[in-house]
């Protein structure tokens, strides 16, 4: 019950017009059934919240390490939470398959591995990233987001 009240209070700080994806449509869930619940408030959305200083707005697919590649966490210099399971919506332990990552980590990942090394869910990525990344200062990340939008399936 306390967690539900906390989530409700956090959601009250959200600005409804900030719930659009990269296509200008309503933001879709980044996490779905069978995967750990992501989002700053663990509601499945890469939505904007006051106090989310990392701006966890980008829904990255396949953050876990594979046989040949390190995880998103390893690549960005974070502790490896990517390969650990998280809590599913039903309370079970589930893998982190898609995750709302912070903008600075995404930028670092793009600089390290390149834009083609991973995929993002453009319908679950918050459109704010295009306002947050400067097309000159954050060129690699900004251009990568634009590339992912242009290659997204309708």
Phi-psi region of 122 (alpha: psi -120 to 50; beta: other; left: phi over 0): alpha
Count other Cβ atoms within 10 Å, centred on residue 24: 7
Give me 96's structure tokens: 């982190």
Of 78, 40, 34, nearest to 59 (Cα)?
40
For residue 100, give its domain range: 2-150
What local confidence, expressed as pLDDT, does residue 53 receive? 67
Distance, in Å, from the CA atom of 143 to the CA atom of 57, rounded to the nearest integer, reads 16
Domain containing residue 69: CATH number: 3.30.56.110
CB 30 within 8 A of CB 45: yes
Q: Tell me: the pLDDT tens digits for 57-81? A: 999 988 777 777 788 888 888 888 8
Q: Which pTM value belongs to this model?
A: 0.81
Distance, in Å, from the CA atom of 14 to the CA atom of 2, rounded to the nearest integer, reads 19
> Average pLDDT in the 90-103 region?
90
Instruction: Work out how many domains the chain is built from and give that number.
Output: 1
Q: Tell me: the pLDDT tens digits for 101-150? A: 999 999 999 998 899 888 899 999 999 898 889 999 999 999 999 999 88
């Amino acid at each position: 019950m306390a967690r539900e009240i906390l989530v409700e209070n956090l959601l009250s700080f959200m600005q409804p017009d900030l719930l659009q994806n990269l296509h200008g449509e309503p933001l879709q869930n980044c996490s779905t059934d069978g995967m750990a619940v992501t989002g700053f408030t663990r509601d499945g959305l890469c939505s904007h919240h006051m106090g989310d200083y990392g701006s966890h707005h980008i829904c990255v697919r396949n953050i876990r390490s594979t046989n040949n590649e390190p995880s998103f966490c390893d690549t960005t210099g974070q502790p490896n939470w990517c390969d650990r399971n998280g809590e599913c919506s039903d309370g079970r332990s589930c893998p982190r398959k898609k995750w709302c990552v912070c903008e600075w980590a995404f930028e670092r990942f793009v600089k390290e591995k390149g834009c083609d090394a991973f995929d993002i869910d453009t319908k679950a990525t918050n459109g704010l990233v295009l306002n947050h990344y400067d097309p000159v200062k954050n060129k690699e990340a900004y251009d990568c987001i634009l590339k992912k939008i242009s290659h997204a399936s309708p």
